[in-house]
Amino acid sequence: MDYFHVTLSEREVASHSILALAHLGDSVYELMVRTRLLINADLTNRTMHNETLNYVNASAQFEAYQKIKDILTPFEADIFRRGRNARVKTVPRNADRAKYHTATGVEALFGALWLSGNHERLNQLFEIIVDP
């Protein structure tokens, strides 16, 4: 099995737990952030870690959603909505509950796109998110 080139149908993706998609999407999103930082800047490990935290947190992912919400396909909007509405057991103390739920939706979206093999769309959304 080639875990870097998985291609599931939208139906197969939607059949998975939304929190499982968010779990995967959290890693996909962070990997994209770390890769971008590595390619675009010569940073120390500590600086790279701190810069990563600027992108991979509930507030930043809430802002990311604001940038992409109007261009989501119906499938993407549905995955996001399911992720945002998922019942999470805990919310970190330093996170606003609404922003945390939105971040979970973004992570679910990235997990779903990864599993569907839609890397072009992942890159398109990510570029919009990180574009100043």
Instruction: Find out whether 102 and 60 touch, Cβ atoms under 8 Å.
Output: no
Of 66, 73, 71, residue with least CA distance to 106? 66
Burial status of residue 23 (CB atoms within 10 A of its CB: 0-12, 13-18, 19 or more): middle
3-state secondary structure 73-89: CHHHHHHHHHHHHCCCC
Catalytic residue among 26, 70, 78, 96: 26
Task: Note if 78 is an active site residue.
Answer: no
According to DSSP, residue 15 is labeled T
Active-site positions read: 26
